[in-house]
């Protein structure tokens, strides 16, 4: 987890990190915290440093893993933490639907095209 600090009582109340999750452990813990009435507080006084991935392929792999494990968190809790977690899947599903519909209409147009009688 990046930059999180919790009192011991938080872990006693909502449990520890889910070690079965390879990614998004902090996200899942924060979900349990907020659903149990807790709050996440950020302070500009906290100083931290982050080292980004050194290539686009490494960044792609990182975000692919985040997406996969986000689905696992949603499956575990039966609801997404936010509607925005559903947007990528809805986008890909819409693209697939549009592609399929476009292909079907193109084939239908070819099959039903009136013949020019000679």
Q: Describe the chain by its helix, strand, coil percentages, rounded to 5.
A: 60, 0, 40
Whether residue 117 has pLDDT greater than 70: no
Give dist(CA 25, CA 17) in Å, integer. 6
DSSP label at residue 84: G
Mean pLDDT (the chain, rounded): 86
What pLDDT is stored for residue 1 in this prediction? 43
Please state the rounded mean pLDDT for residues 12-38.
Answer: 91
Judge contact between 59 and 52, C-beta under 8 A: yes
Judge contact between 29 and 1, C-beta under 8 A: yes
């Amino acid at each position: 987890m990046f930059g999180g600090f919790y009192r011991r009582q938080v872990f006693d109340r909502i449990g520890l990190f889910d070690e079965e999750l390879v990614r998004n452990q902090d996200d899942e813990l924060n979900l349990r915290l907020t659903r149990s009435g807790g709050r996440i507080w950020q302070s500009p006084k906290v100083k931290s440093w982050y080292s980004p991935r050194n290539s686009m392929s490494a960044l792609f792999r990182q975000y692919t893993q985040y997406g996969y494990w986000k689905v696992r968190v949603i499956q575990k809790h039966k609801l997404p933490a936010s509607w925005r977690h559903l947007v990528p899947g809805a986008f890909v599903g819409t693209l697939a639907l549009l592609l399929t519909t476009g292909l079907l209409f193109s084939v239908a147009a070819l099959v039903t095209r009136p013949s020019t009688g000679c």
